């Protein structure tokens, strides 16, 4: 009888031992690989954030410029001093938003990039709004600078710009869709551009002229 009791007790002991063995194996260890995985996940999050930041920078660099610019003249000038010849660069450029604002600047610099940058800043300071009526200049005007004379006349819609040289560049960047111009005297680009700017500044709208008379 004692042998039968032993045989009946042994099956009850074995399942208890088997149930206790998987317990420690399934328990997570503190500071183990799950922590490393989480840290790697954190790094992945940082990498994703960096990727979005770079994308934003690229998208910012692709944004349209505030002003369009065009170089009218780029020349090298030499100045003779007591120490010898001093060579510099001169840049003349026109800027505009093609919506009624335009500016012109001339500047010198030790290299081309510096001359262009200084001319751009000067043109930005000299910007003004072109008065327009019915998508053209309100009235005819002529102006002189140096030996260059520029004549501007209004034109009906659909005519386009009948102009050439520096006058066309100024009107295009200024956003004048229709106009007729004529250049007399000197064809120097800088003088023609300055004469064109003076002519545009003399333009007045009819309503504004009536208010000034009153």
27: pLDDT strictly greater than 60:
no
Q: Where are the domains of the chain?
A: 68-204
- Does the model's pTM come out above 0.75? no
Name the average pLDDT for the chain: 79
User: 181 Cβ partners below 8 Å, 6+ apart?
Assistant: 150, 151, 152, 153, 161, 162, 163, 164, 167, 168, 171, 196
Does CATH number 3.90.1150.10 belong to domain 68-204? no
183: pLDDT strictly greater than 50:
yes
Give CA–CA dist 93/126, Å, rounded. Answer: 12
Give CA–CA dist 75/188, Å, rounded. Answer: 13
Mean pLDDT of the region 147-172: 95
In the 8-state DSSP scheme, what is residue 32? S
At residue 33, the pLDDT reads 53
Q: Express each pLDDT in 68-106 by its tens digit.
A: 999 999 999 998 888 888 899 999 999 999 999 999 999
């Amino acid at each position: 009888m004692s042998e039968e009791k032993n045989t009946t007790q042994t099956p009850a002991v074995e399942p208890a031992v088997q149930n206790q063995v998987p317990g420690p194996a399934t328990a997570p260890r503190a500071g183990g690989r799950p922590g490393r995985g989480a840290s790697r996940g954190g790094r992945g999050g940082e990498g994703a954030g960096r990727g979005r930041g770079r994308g934003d920078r690229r998208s910012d660099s692709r944004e349209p410029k505030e002003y369009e610019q065009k170089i009218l003249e780029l020349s090298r000038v030499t100045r003779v001093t007591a120490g010898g010849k001093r060579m510099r660069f001169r840049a003349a450029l026109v800027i505009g938003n093609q919506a009624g604002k335009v500016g012109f600047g001339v500047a010198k610099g030790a290299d081309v990039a510096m001359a262009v940058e200084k001319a751009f800043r000067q043109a930005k300071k000299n910007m003004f709004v072109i008065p327009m009526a019915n998508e053209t200049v309100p009235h005819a005007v002529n102006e002189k600078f140096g030996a260059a004379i520029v004549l501007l006349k209004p034109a009906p819609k659909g005519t386009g710009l009948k102009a050439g040289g520096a006058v066309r560049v100024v009107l295009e960047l200024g956003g004048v869709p229709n106009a007729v111009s004529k250049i007399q005297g000197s064809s120097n680009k800088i003088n023609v551009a300055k004469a064109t700017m003076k002519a545009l500044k003399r333009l007045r709208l009819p309503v504004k002229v009536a208010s000034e008379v009153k």
